[in-house]
Amino acid sequence: MNDKPNISDPGLLAQAQADAQRALAEDVGSGDLTAGLVDANKDARAKLIVREYAILCGAPWAQAAVHALDPQARLRWHVAEGQWCKPGQVVLEIEGKARALLSAERTALNFLQLLSAVATRTAQYVTAVEGTRTQIVDTRKTLPGLRTAQKYAVRSGGGYNHRMGLFDAVLIKENHIAAAGGIAPVMARAVSVTGQASFIQIEVETLAQLEEALNAGATMILLDNMDLPILREAVHLNDSKGERRAVLEISGGVTLETVRALAQTGVDRISVGALTKDVKAVDFSMRFEGL
C-alpha cells in the first residue's frame, strides 16, 4: 500500500493554508453578517461529528481555516488523519472565539467532507484489488484549484498519484499521436524531455498499437478501454520475452464492480477518474456550546 502523506510536511501545510485563505475570502468576503450578531468577546466550544463510516481526511485544511480566523483556537482531534471513523463519532473538539468558529465552520466542513470522501472512495478501490499486483492511481480529473488537496486525499486512502499536471510528466494520447504522425515519431521526440519528465507514458487502443509502442521503446503504456480478453492478451504480449517490458496501466470506465476483474488480468496500475471526479461528500456536522 502507498505510504500515507506526512501531515506535518511544511509544503503541505502551506498549501492547506493557501487553500483555506482562498476559500474563506470567497465565503466571508467583507465580513460575516450573521456571526457579527454574536458578542465579539464570547468564547465557544464546538464538536464536529461524522454521520457515516468514512476515512477522516483534511485535518490540515480544517485547522488552517479555523486558525486563519482565530489563531489561538484549540483543536483536539479524536480521530487521526487517515483513520476510519463511525457514524455519530465526535472527531474533533474546538475551543475559541464564537464569531471565528461560526465563520470558519462551513469552510472547515467543506474541506473535510470532500477530502474524506476522496480518501474513502480510494480505500474502497484499494480494498477491491487486494491480493493482486495492481496499484490504484488517480487522474487529473480534479476540482480546479484543489488538485493538490485531492491528490493528498488519494494517498490518505492508500492510492497512488499519477502526474500532478502537464508540466511534470508526459502522457501521449490519441490526439498527440495523430498530430505527431504516429507512435514511432512521437516516441522519438519524447526523448528530448527525458530529463524534465518524471515519466513518459503512451496510450494505446489496440494490440497492434501496443506492439508498436513496445518496439519504439515505451516503458509505460496506458491500455485504453480494452475488454478483459484483450487485456489478458496485452499482458501476455508485454511478458512474451520472459520479462515485463513495460508498466501497463488500465484506464476508462473503471468501477468498483469491475476493478477486481481488471486487476486480475495482471496489469500494474489502474487509473480511476471517479476517485476525485464523482465523489459524494461525507456527512459531517458541527454543534456549538457556549463557554
Strands laid side by side in the 220-224 sheet: 135-137, 269-271, 247-251, 220-224, 200-204, 170-172
86 is catalytic: no
Q: Quick check: is 141 catalytic?
A: yes
The active-site residue, picked from 42, 133, 173, 244, is 173
Q: What is the pLDDT of residues 178-223, one digit of tens each?
A: 999 999 999 999 988 888 999 999 999 999 999 999 999 999 999 9
Q: Give yes or no: 47 in active site.
A: no
Q: Catalytic pick from 45, 47, 141, 189?
A: 141
> Checking phi first, is residue 81 left (phi over 0); if not, alpha (psi -120 to 50) or beta?
beta
Query: What digits encode the pLDDT tens for the residues 108-146?
Result: 999 999 999 999 999 999 999 999 999 999 999 999 999
Residue ranges and CATH numbers for the domains of the chain are: 10-126+279-290 (3.90.1170.20), 129-277 (3.20.20.70)
Which pLDDT does position 291 carry in this prediction?
60
Q: Is 74 a catalytic residue?
A: no
Q: What are the φ/ψ torsions at residue 160 (nearest 5 degrees)?
A: -120, 150
Alpha-carbon distance 248 to 220, whole Å?
A: 6
Catalytic, out of 45, 106, 232, 277: 106
| DSSP category for residue 55 | E
Q: What is the mean pLDDT of residues 147-151?
A: 97
> pLDDT averaged over the chain?
95
Q: Catalytic one among 203, 212, 249, 268?
A: 203
Instruction: Tell me if residue 224 is catalytic.
Output: yes
